[in-house]
Structure 1
């Protein structure tokens, strides 16, 4: 039974520690049998591990997220962290396949405790990124010779060429200072920068690149939406306003009888009344 854990020796958390910091533990199963694992820590209130237990198939890799809770204030720069993680693993045989996940570890610890493999990983606090970069530059400047050779300014292309004057055979050749190495590459002669710190720097640079790409994509999307809104505002209004039309309605006034007809009718009625009444 064999597993590989990355990082294998220490888990680094970079200052400032006043915010939540996340790191990843990769567990890879290099055996032919599935493996059950369990992660423990000496400071369970300070760290959150997900998942803290599980199963890894043959040839597979599982990532465990370790989240460090925020501190009220940063500890002193010379403070040494004593927190540790313990990764326990055991092979899942055919007999153990029948056990429930809750009964697996109690049964193994009772009947086959000698088959449990353990790996300890200590926690370290790294200085701020700006402080570490400045320290590397200072150490590189100290390693530079006091009288560096002169560089020719003619015929420069995309690759800088260094030209030195010919020297006698008996004298030692001039030392050409090495160009500053990128942040992700190891720096020769720097003894107090560990390989783990370089790995952490690479990881943080990759995360920064992903954030920049996401911001660029969001910026392009916002510009497209702004252009769409501008086009909508500049479109002419196609709907033509129509004024209501008024239709004149002629109302005919009722026409009465002529006055002569009325006078004649009144006279006839008077005659009839005088004759018969």
Structure 2
């Protein structure tokens, strides 16, 4: 007896180049008298795109499901064994779904018709073209061989002892000094070189700037001296006023006592008269 549902193929074969996007198909045929619903699952959802992953198949019809390989990062080896798998599950769908999608009512159909479900596992196989792989690997091998030969032929230049100074690597090269300091007195020679390199207007401008700086320093020193002098005079005046106040305070009791004794003497003299 034929099965009411036919799912083909048993193995999906993706051929080289596997680094590019490619598409294979799963065919679901409904041999029964009522509509069925199906859903496709995979163990590697990051590498494949399924269109549609859930839909209806009317009685006596078939649906082709696109399995799209998005492309691998690099071409696998010839002996690579792909472990990716797909699972196709079918359930009876005797009700009209109207505008509702199969994904939305799948849990209800599975709860009601779980015993009538039909599923099939589909393996994935990578078919690697050995000729193309060899053609791709050959330029790489030639390039590696060419680089190794270059390294063998390159020989360091002979260096004569005590005659040739060792050179620094490119990243360690030091720029030459801008001043030709070669004599015993490098400071004087450097100053002379700077003076000779400057033009007359530049020398005059530098002299004028130096004179202005000297004048400004003199004015600053003069202002500081005047400020210090004023502060000293002010402190002297304050000290003099303080001393005068202290003297007045000391002389006031003496004057009072003197007047008191004078008054007593006058009183006694008046009594004896």
The answer to whether the superposition gives a TM-score over 0.5 is: no
User: When the two structures are superposed, what TM-score results if normalisation uses the length of structure 2?
Assistant: 0.44
TM-score relative to the length of structure 1? 0.43
More helix by share: 2
